[in-house]
Amino acid sequence: MVYIARSANGKPDVLVEQRDVVVLTQTCDILKESQASILVAQVVDYNVLCRISSPEVSGERYRNKLIENTVIAMFLLPEHEIGLSFPWSIVSFRDLYVSPKDDARMFAQSLGPRLRLRSPYKEHLSQSFARFMMRVGLPSTTHGFASYKPEK
Spell out the residues 6+ positions from residue 129 whose beta carbon is closer than 8 angstroms to its own. Answer: 24, 41, 75, 93
Which backbone phi and psi does 133 adopt, to 5 degrees?
-75, -30
Degrees, nearest 5: CA angle 11-12-14:
150
The pLDDT averaged over each successive group of 10 residues in the chain (152 residues) is 63 76 91 94 96 94 95 93 88 93 88 86 93 80 83 88
Nearest to 35 by CA among 104, 85, 81, 116: 104
Domain range list for the chain? 20-134
The structure's pTM equals 0.78
